[in-house]
């Protein structure tokens, strides 16, 4: 399953919408996503599963790239 992760670049940053970055990652669960990203200095705001029509919509974005970990 593909998950969309909303995060701040530094784990000390306060979540602010204008500075929120996203990435896509393949994993079985949200816990697995967080586990894969624990070595990175990200302040993870939200992890959301992406599937069906929403996934097809996201794939059309130029920023859609699944992170390989």
pLDDT tens, per residue, the chain with 69 residues: 999 999 999 888 888 888 899 999 999 999 999 999 999 999 999 999 999 999 999 999 988 999 988
Instruction: Note the pLDDT of residue 63.
Output: 86
Alpha-carbon distance of 55 to 43, in angstroms, equals 24
Domains of the chain, by residue range, sit at 30-69
In a 13 Å sphere around the CA of 62, the CA atoms on its Cβ side amount to 0
> Around 9, how many Cα atoms within 13 Å sit in the side-chain half-sphere?
2
DSSP of 48-64, one letter per residue? EEE-HHHHHHHHTSTT-
């Amino acid at each position: 399953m593909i998950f969309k992760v909303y995060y701040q670049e530094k784990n000390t940053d306060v979540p602010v919408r204008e500075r929120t970055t996203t990435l896509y990652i393949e994993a079985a669960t949200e816990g697995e996503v967080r586990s894969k990203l624990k070595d990175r200095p990200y302040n993870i705001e939200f992890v959301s599963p992406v599937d069906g029509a929403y996934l097809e919509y996201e794939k059309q974005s130029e920023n859609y790239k699944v992170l390989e970990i």
